[in-house]
């Protein structure tokens, strides 16, 4: 009996932690060479804390994601804040992904409203972040998601000048810097190229797309190449890009604020030898988009995470199932039955997740 229990337990471990992506999927479907570098998993991610309470969130908690520096990080603390994160990545020998998201009049008063009080405070903040990033040529830095596409949407001062200042400051760091350019359904490729050129995309690595959005990877790659073509007409060549694939597994959604139909997309992967530098999870999956659809204004929100995983809201947690098995285990043979049931439940969860990933995979050329 003990041997059988051990064998079944071993299978449970494999089911639970072997992963729900085939590591070769992204490589072969993208048709590009994966870079020999691991992205950093920040131990302070909110999904990690959530997964300690509910193992269903493990696929999110164990996947590298970006670190957002927003209003919680001030001009006085930003150097320490960024430095602590970079130190953690260096200790893990992994690539950090930094998102700077504090421009004045951020999101024009919408779900992610906020930002620095004025342009001078923002400039001081950016200078502090740039000072700490200097010499970190492995770091990925995404500048102000949505700020460039929202140009002129609200009273925002001289946003072009503000963004140009940020680009200039970060261009001196050696980091791989990307200016956010929205997504395929926001600006035409020509307009995106024009705006990118005005803020100095030629001084940095390139641009980012699909941050916090849900457009398919295939179409975002096509859009990115159109933007690059328009940039070349302006005399700007050798521009690279990254795509947020964290929540685009089910394609475009009717509402981008905590949409229940969204699913996880391709796992993060860096590439080399091509204009596409990587798929990233920029927007942290499972964290709310704002106070919509019953969600909180900020933070990890279990219903959104369960939606992305394709799980039912009322399904018992893995920890509950595990506890049920332990209770049954006290009565001998019944314990084995409980363990097998738990393993099957975990397998069903994995199959649902794999189905979501395979659906996303079919979207990539």
User: What confidence category does residue 137 fall into, taking pLDDT thresholds of 50, 70 and 90?
Assistant: very high
Q: Which residues pair with 252 in a beta bridge?
A: none
What is the Cα 271 distance to its own chain's centre? 16
Q: What is the mean pLDDT of residues 180-187?
A: 98
Burial class of residue 93 in the structure, from the number of CB atoms within 10 Å of its CB (0-12 exposed, 13-18 middle, 19+ buried): exposed
Q: Are strands 276-280 and 33-34 parallel, antiparallel or unpaired?
A: unpaired
Q: What is the mean pLDDT of residues 94-102?
A: 98
The pLDDT of residue 60 is 98
CA-to-CA distance for 352 and 345, rounded, in angstroms? 11
User: What confidence category does residue 316 fall into, taking pLDDT thresholds of 50, 70 and 90?
Assistant: very low
User: What confidence category does residue 6 fall into, taking pLDDT thresholds of 50, 70 and 90?
Assistant: very low
Q: What is the mean pLDDT of residues 99-114?
A: 89
> Is the pLDDT at 338 greater than 60, yes or no?
no
Give the dihedral sign, CA 144/148/150/153: positive
Phi, psi of 300 (to 5 degrees): -75, 135
Per-residue pLDDT tens for 107-131?
887 888 889 989 999 999 999 999 9
CB 163 within 8 A of CB 103: yes
> Is the pLDDT at 29 greater than 50, yes or no?
no
> Is the pLDDT at 343 greater than 80, yes or no?
no
CB 107 within 8 A of CB 152: no
Burial class of residue 241 in the structure, from the number of CB atoms within 10 Å of its CB (0-12 exposed, 13-18 middle, 19+ buried): buried
Residue with tokens 């179409």: 219
The catalytically annotated residue of 81, 107, 146, 307 is 146
Give the predicted TM-score (pTM) of the model.
0.82
User: What confidence category does residue 314 fall into, taking pLDDT thresholds of 50, 70 and 90?
Assistant: low
Give the dihedral sign, CA 145/149/151/154: negative
Q: What is the mean pLDDT of residues 81-101?
A: 98
CB 292 within 8 A of CB 258: yes
**Read out DSSP for 245-263?**
-TT-TT---S-SSS-TT--
> Is the pLDDT at 141 greater than 50, yes or no?
yes
Half-sphere exposure of 347 (CA within 13 A, CB side): 10
What is the Cα 146 distance to its own chain's centre? 15
Q: Give the ranges where 18-75 is alpha helix by DSSP (H).
A: 23-30, 46-53, 58-61
The pLDDT of residue 333 is 41
Q: Nearest-CA neighbor of 126 among 192, 82, 185, 91? A: 82
Q: Which two tokens stand for residue 162?
A: 């503000």
CB 164 within 8 A of CB 177: no
What three-state secondary structure class fits 141?
strand
Give percent helix, percent strand, percent coil of the chain, each to the nearest 5.
45, 10, 45
Q: Which two tokens stand for residue 308?
A: 């992305």
Q: Which residues pair with 280 in a beta bridge?
A: 244
Q: What is the mean pLDDT of residues 153-157?
A: 89
Per-residue pLDDT tens for 197-224?
999 999 999 999 999 999 999 999 999 9
CB 251 within 8 A of CB 215: yes
The pLDDT of residue 354 is 52
User: Mean pLDDT for the chain?
Assistant: 84
CB 310 within 8 A of CB 356: yes
User: 313 or 27: which carries more pLDDT confidence?
Assistant: 313
Return the minimum-mean-pLDDT range out of 7-16, 26-35, 77-86, 185-194.
7-16
146 part of the active site: yes
The pLDDT of residue 326 is 32
């Amino acid at each position: 009996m003990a041997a059988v229990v051990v064998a079944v337990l071993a299978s449970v471990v494999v089911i639970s932690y072997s992963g729900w992506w085939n590591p070769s999927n992204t490589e072969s479907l993208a048709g590009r060479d994966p870079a020999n570098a691991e992205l950093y998993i920040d131990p302070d991610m909110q999904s990690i804390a959530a997964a300690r309470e509910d193992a269903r969130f493990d696929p999110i908690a164990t996947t590298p994601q970006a670190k957002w520096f927003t209003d919680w990080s001030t001009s006085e603390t930003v150097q320490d804040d960024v430095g602590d994160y970079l130190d953690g990545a260096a200790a893990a020998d992994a690539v950090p992904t930094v998102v700077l998201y504090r421009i004045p009049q951020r999101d024009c008063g919408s779900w992610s409203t906020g930002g620095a009080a004025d342009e001078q405070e923002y400039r001081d903040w950016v200078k502090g972040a740039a000072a700490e990033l200097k010499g970190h040529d492995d770091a990925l830095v995404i500048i102000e998601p949505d700020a460039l596409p929202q140009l002129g949407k609200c009273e925002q001062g001289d946003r072009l000048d503000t963004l140009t200042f940020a680009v200039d400051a970060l261009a001196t760091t050696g980091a791989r810097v990307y200016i956010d350019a929205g997504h395929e359904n926001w600006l035409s490729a020509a307009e995106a190229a024009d705006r990118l050129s005005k803020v100095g995309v030629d001084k940095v690595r390139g641009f980012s797309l699909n941050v916090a959005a849900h457009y398919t990877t295939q179409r975002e790659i096509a859009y990115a190449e159109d933007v690059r073509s328009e940039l070349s007409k302006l005399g700007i060549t050798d521009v690279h890009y990254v795509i947020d694939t964290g929540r685009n597994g089910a394609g475009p959604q009717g509402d981008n604020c905590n949409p229940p139909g969204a699913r996880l997309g391709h796992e993060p992967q860096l590439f080399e030898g091509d204009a596409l530098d990587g798929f990233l999870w920029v927007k942290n999956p499972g964290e709310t988009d704002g106070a919509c659809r019953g969600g909180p204004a900020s933070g990890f929100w279990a219903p959104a995470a369960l939606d992305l995983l394709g799980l039912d809201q009322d399904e018992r947690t893995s920890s509950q199932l595990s506890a049920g098995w332990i209770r049954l285990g006290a009565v001998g043979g019944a314990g084995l039955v409980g363990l097998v049931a738990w393993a099957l439940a975990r397998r069903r969860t994995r199959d649902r997740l794999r189905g979501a990933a395979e659906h996303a995979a079919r979207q990539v050329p």
